[in-house]
Amino acid sequence: MAIVRLATLDDIDELIQMRWDFSTEDYGDSTVSYEELHQVCGDFLNKAIESGNCYVWVAEVQRSIVSHMYLQLIHKVPRPGKIRDPYYGYVTNVYTRPAFRSQGIGTEIYVAMEKWSKENEVEFLILWPSRTSVQFYEKNGFAQ
CA atoms within 13 A on the CB side of 140: 22
- Predicted local confidence at residue 66, as pLDDT: 97
> With a threshold of 0.95, does the pTM exceed it?
no
Residue 28 lies in a domain: yes
Residue 76 lies in a domain: yes
Question: Whole-angstrom Cα distance, residue 142 to residue 4?
Answer: 21
CA atoms within 13 A on the CB side of 133: 18
CA atoms within 13 A on the CB side of 89: 25
Pairing of β 54-61 and β 125-127: unpaired
- Predicted local confidence at residue 129, as pLDDT: 65
- Model confidence over 45-101: pLDDT tens digits? 999 999 999 999 999 999 999 999 999 999 888 777 766 767 899 999 999 999 999
Q: Total domain count for the chain?
A: 1
Residue 144 lies in a domain: no
Question: Whole-angstrom Cα distance, residue 100 to residue 59?
Answer: 10
Please check the confidence at residue 12 and state whether its pLDDT lies above 70: yes
Q: What CATH number does residue 69 fall under?
A: 3.40.630.30
Residue 102 lies in a domain: yes
Instruction: Show the CA angle centred on residue 70, arms to residues 64 and 74, nearest 5°.
Output: 160
Residue 46 lies in a domain: yes
Instruction: Show the CA angle centred on residue 107, arms to residues 136 and 16, nearest 5°.
Output: 90
Residue 36 lies in a domain: yes
Q: Which of these ranges, 23-27, 50-54, 119-123, 140-144, has the smallest mean pLDDT?
A: 140-144
- Model confidence over 115-133: pLDDT tens digits? 999 999 898 888 876 676 6
Residue 86 Cα to chain centre, angstroms: 20
Residue 112 lies in a domain: yes
Q: Where are the alpha helices (DSSP H) in the chain?
A: 12-27, 34-51, 105-119, 134-139
For residues 96 and 66, the answer to whether their CB atoms sit within 8 Å is yes
- What is the average per-residue pLDDT within 12-34? 87
Q: What count of residues does the chain have?
A: 144
Domain span holding position 94:
3-139
**Cβ neighbours of 48 (radius 10 Å):** 17
